[in-house]
Amino acid sequence: MTDAKKDALETLKAEVDGAKAKALGNPLWKVDPEELEARAVAHGDERNETRGTSVSGWLNPYPDTDPRSFLTEYQFCWTHDRSPFKMGVWGRQTGKDFSSQCEIAEDCFARPGTRWTVAAPSERQSLESLEQGKTWVRGFGLMVEDYEETREGADSESLLKVAEITLSNGSKIRAVPGKASTARGISSNVLITEFDHFEDAPEFWQALIPSITNPIRGGRKKARVITTPNGNGSAGHKIWESKDGKKLKWSRHLVSLYHAVLMGLPVDVELMKEVMEAAGDLDSFAQEFLCKWIDASTTVFPYDVIAHAEHADATESWDPNDAGTSHPTFCGVDFGRINDPTVCWTFQRVGGILWTREVLVLEKVSSPDQEMILRDRIAAADRTCFDYTGPGIGLGDYLVRTHGEWKPKEHKGGKVELCTFTPAFKRELFPRLLRSMEAPTEIRIPISTAIREDFHEVKQVVRGEGFFYTSKKTKLGHSDRCTACALARRAAGDMDSGPFKFESVKVERPDALAGGRRVLM
C-alpha cells in the first residue's frame, strides 16, 4: 500500500470516528417528544429548503463513490455500532432493513466467508430484505455468484424454508420466514426484522438463542433485532425494557419519525399525521411512527393453518360454464378499482369440502368491464357476497338489479348479498374463515405464494377492551384475496346444511312424518 493511500485511509477513518461521535452525541436523542414534533414538522415541510439534511449540521464522511455515503445520521449511528447484541425500535419507513443490510454487506466484504441469516415475519418480508442486501453487496464490489431457494414441498409455490445468496468472496446471506423451525440449527450472525410482528416471537427467540450464543459453532455471533412496537408486554417490549446481565448487554437505538426527519429523512410529518388523523387512527401513528408501545396485534392466519388448507387440486382459474348444477357454487367479491385489485373467489362444495375453483384478480379494470367479467360467474353461483363498501356501492347496486338481492329479513331471495365492511362485520367474517381452515379443514385453497402471503398479512389488533382487523398495503394489494375468500365462505353458509338450514315445524296431523321445511339461511 502506498503512503498516499495509507494516509487517505487513515484520514477517512478519523473522519468516520468523528462523525460517529458527533451523531451519537446529538442532543436530539434526549429532546422531549413535544419539542421534537414541533421541530420535525417545520424541518419536514416540503417548502423548507434544508429538508433532507440533518438540523445538527452533521455530514456523512464517506466519499460519493462509497455506498455508505447514502446513510443518514441516524442510519450511520446504527450501522457503525459494533455491539454483539443490538436492538433498534424504529418508526415505519425510516430504513430499518436498508441500514441493517448495509452493515451485513460491509461485514461480508470485510470478512470473507462470513455467514448472516435474515429472519422476518413473512416470506415476502424476508425476501424483500434480502433484495436490499443484494443491492448493498454490489455497492461494495461483491458479486452474487449463486442464488438458491429451498421450499417445504416440491412445488415452486410451496412455503419458503430458506433463500440463500453466495457472494464472490465466499460469504453467504440467507433469508427465512420467522418460524421457530427455521431458527433451530442456525449458526450465523442474525438480523431479525420486525421481530415484534412474528407469529410467535417468544418461541422463535427461544429457538434462536442457543445457536447464536454457542461459541463452539463458529464463535460468538452478532444479533440485530429491529422492529416497530406491537403493544405493551410484547416480546420486543420485554427485550427493550429488560435489564442487562453480566454478559448479555443490549445496545438500544430508538428512532421515531421525528428523529429521522430531523436527521435527514425527507418526509412531510404534518401531511403524514393528517392522513392518519383523517382515517381516525392516531393511535396507530403513535405506535408505528413514534415508537410508543400501545396496541398488540397477532397474525390471524399463521403459516401452519394456511398449510392445512392448501391443496394441489385447488385451482386459480376455471370456466364458469363448468359449474354445472350437481355441486353448489359460491362467490366472494372484494371490490377494488385503482389502488387495489378486485378479487373474485369461487368455491364449489363437493361433499363436505369447499374447493377453490378460481381466484380471479382484476387490476385497474373499469366498473363496467368488471360487471361484464363477473356477470357469468355470479349467474353460475348459488350465492355471491359482494363488498358493498365505498366505491363498491355503485357496482353492487347494478349487480342486485341484474341478479337480485339476497336479504331474507326483507324477504328478498336473489343471488347477491351486499356486505358493508364495518368492524363488527369483520369480527364475524375472518374468525369464520379461520375456523374453516383449522383442522379438520373444511376448505381447500391453491398452493400459491401470492395467496399465502396475502392471508398471512391479516392482523387482529387489540386496543383497550376491543379489537379489529387490519392489513398492511403490499405490492400484491391489501389482503384482497383473503377478504374475497372470507366473503365466499360466508356465501357458502353453514357447512352442515349448505346454503339452507332446517327448522322444525309443528304439524296438525299426528301421523305426519317427522321432519322439517327448508328455509333460506
Q: For 59-102, how does the pLDDT look when each residue is reduced to its tens digit (9 = 90+)?
A: 999 999 999 999 999 999 999 999 999 999 999 999 999 999 99
Sequence-ordered strand ranges (E) for 375-488: 383-387, 406-407, 412-413, 416-419, 443-444, 458-463, 466-471
**How many C-beta atoms surround the C-beta of residue 382 within 10 A?**
21
Total number of residues shown for the chain: 521
Specify if 193 maps to a domain. yes
Q: Of 294, 327, 342, which residue is a domain's last? A: 294
Specify if 512 maps to a domain. no
Which helix H or strand E contains 205, and what residues bound it? helix 201-212
**How many C-beta atoms surround the C-beta of residue 152 within 10 A?**
14
Shared domain for 384 and 478, answered yes or no, is yes
Specify if 519 maps to a domain. no
* C-beta of residue 367 within 8 angstroms of C-beta of residue 395: yes
Q: Of 294, 322, 344, which residue is a domain's last? A: 294
Shared domain for 261 and 314, answered yes or no, is no
Q: Which residues of 258-279 are buried (b: 16+ CB within 10 A; e: fewer)?
A: bbbbbbbbebbbeebbeebeee
**HSE-CB for 268 with a 13 A CA cutoff:** 11
Which domain, by its residues, includes 468?
303-501
Specify if 371 maps to a domain. yes
Q: Please state, in angstroms and rounded to a whole number, the distance separating the CA atoms of residues 18 and 489.
A: 61
Whole-number pLDDT of residue 515: 38
In the numeric block, the cell 359460491 is attached to 330
Shared domain for 210 and 330, answered yes or no, is no
Shared domain for 321 and 442, answered yes or no, is yes
Shared domain for 405 and 457, answered yes or no, is yes
Query: Bigger pLDDT: 295 or 417?
Result: 417
Provide mean pLDDT across the span 188-200: 93
Shared domain for 193 and 309, answered yes or no, is no
**Residue 261 belongs to domain with CATH number:** 3.40.50.300
Specify if 453 maps to a domain. yes
Shared domain for 274 and 337, answered yes or no, is no
pLDDT tens digits, residue range 231-257?
A: 888 899 999 999 998 888 999 999 999
pLDDT band at 212 (very low <50, low <70, confident <90, very high): confident
Shared domain for 102 and 238, answered yes or no, is yes
Shared domain for 412 and 457, answered yes or no, is yes
- Work out the angle at residue 173's Cα, subtended by the Cα atoms of residues 170 and 176, and round it to the nearest 5 degrees: 150
Specify if 79 maps to a domain. yes
Q: Of 270, 294, 318, which residue is a domain's last? A: 294
Whole-number pLDDT of residue 279: 66
Shared domain for 210 and 98, answered yes or no, is yes
Phi then psi dihedrals of residue 259, to 5 deg: -60, -45
Specify if 514 maps to a domain. no
Shared domain for 260 and 158, answered yes or no, is yes
Specify if 286 maps to a domain. yes
Shared domain for 43 and 189, answered yes or no, is yes
Q: Which residues of 504-517 are buried (b: 16+ CB within 10 A; e: fewer)?
A: eeeeeeeeeeeeee
Provide mean pLDDT across the span 308-326: 88
pLDDT tens digits, residue range 439-475?
A: 889 999 999 999 999 999 999 988 766 788 888 777 6
Question: How many distinct structural domains can be found in the chain?
Answer: 2
Q: Please check the confidence at residue 517 and state whether its pLDDT lies above 70.
A: no
Q: Please check the confidence at residue 146 and state whether its pLDDT lies above 50.
A: yes
**Residue 493 belongs to domain with CATH number:** 3.30.420.240
- For residue 383, give the C-alpha cell: 350465492
Whole-number pLDDT of residue 282: 75
Q: Please state, in angstroms and rounded to a whole number, the distance separating the CA atoms of residues 244 and 233.
A: 18
Q: Please state, in angstroms and rounded to a whole number, the distance separating the CA atoms of residues 85 and 251.
A: 6
Sequence-ordered strand ranges (E) for 363-472: 383-387, 406-407, 412-413, 416-419, 443-444, 458-463, 466-471
